Structure 1
């Protein structure tokens, strides 16, 4: 199966096993959706997208690697748009796991924001929903695999110091599950 491994940054993909095709999108939803859409439209016969990356834990005790089952777009005013009479998709099922990842362009470091998001999700990142959306639009299956790098609090600002550990664990996951 021809797989495209997608990561926001080179730092998160540095330990991807050789032989796997990697796309670095840049940080945030717009960059991620644009890059994945371009890659899938290029006619390279991609059969599966696997998004890897670091994330914040919204609930205490979540550590390690998680395969996500549902992604939600947390910083989009879906309720307000629905109230105007428009249908909005702000949640996508991407797997069988019970793990929910909230995606937004907001870098979560505030404990109040963390607590509010924790009512709806386990993890938080900045690209997964957009990548899942682009893959869905292209009719390509997607898997979302995240490694907890912080607790979506002030420790998130230490990301540069811990990202290599996330990248190592994600590389090991890829070797065990895709090779």
Structure 2
């Protein structure tokens, strides 16, 4: 059995409530809610794979409005004791999935301004979201394989939240099509 995970119900609007071979988990937004909900789910039942779907802002101007496989995650909203942005005091600076894909920068706020993008982009990510680092870290602690698919909903610039609201349903349809193609359900 696989676990289909999304931060928000709206990211799953195109998915049937019952999807053969998958349980479903909506965690809520942000790293803490993501870590808590996924930890509870993985502690309660054995899963063969965690499959995360959701939206992300594109901070790499070369990324189109498509669905991307995530190859790893960093945190853009942490600073270590030496003041180095992107370095956590006790967590690894990057969690890897050993897949070909795009790196995502996770933080506990919705990125929607050009100045924030200019700070995050040099950290090496092409996308931003609010949960992926936590999902990957938790799944790895449980030894459960994890796959993350993200649909670009906005450009993480001024007005991005308006763009997100306008595109989340279309992103969900793209993600549903990808799951159908990759898993045959």
State if a TM-score over 0.5 links the two structures.
yes
- Name which of structure 1's ranges 93-102 and 29-38 shifts more when overlaid on structure 2: 93-102
CA distance in 1, matches of 2:59, 2:47: 32
TM-score (normalised: structure 2): 0.88
Residue of structure 2 aligned with 1:94, choices 94, 97, 111: 97
What secondary structure does 2:159 align onto? helix
CA distance in 2, matches of 1:104, 1:113: 11
User: Per-residue deviation at 1:95?
Assistant: 3.2
CA distance in 2, matches of 1:78, 1:170: 35
Q: Which ranges in structure 2 are unaligned for 5 or more consecutive residues? A: none
Q: Which ranges in structure 1 are unaligned for 5 or more consecutive residues? A: none
CA distance in 2, matches of 1:32, 1:95: 21
Match of 2:165 in 1: 160
Q: Does 1:129 align with 2:130?
A: no
User: Per-residue deviation at 1:39?
Assistant: 0.1
User: Per-residue deviation at 1:49?
Assistant: 0.5
After superposition, residues 56-135 of structure 1 pair within 5 angstroms as 56-63=57-64, 64-78=66-80, 80=82, 88-119=91-122, 120-135=124-139
Match of 2:183 in 1: 178
CA distance in 2, matches of 1:173, 1:155: 27
TM-score (normalised: structure 1): 0.91
Distance change >3 Å, CA 60–CA 81, structure 1 → 2:
closer
CA distance in 2, matches of 1:7, 1:98: 19
CA distance in 1, matches of 2:121, 2:83: 23
CA distance in 2, matches of 1:53, 1:87: 27
CA distance in 1, matches of 2:36, 2:138: 8
What secondary structure does 1:60 align onto? coil
Distance change >3 Å, CA 98–CA 30, structure 1 → 2:
same
User: Per-residue deviation at 1:164?
Assistant: 0.1
Q: Is the Cα contact below 8 Å between 2:29 and 2:131 reproduced in 1?
A: yes
Deviations 1:41-68 (A, max 9, x none): 00x2211111110000001131200001
Q: Once superposed, what is the RMSD of the aligned Cα atoms?
A: 1.7
Match of 1:50 in 2: 51
Q: Is the Cα contact below 8 Å between 1:68 and 1:95 reproduced in 2?
A: no
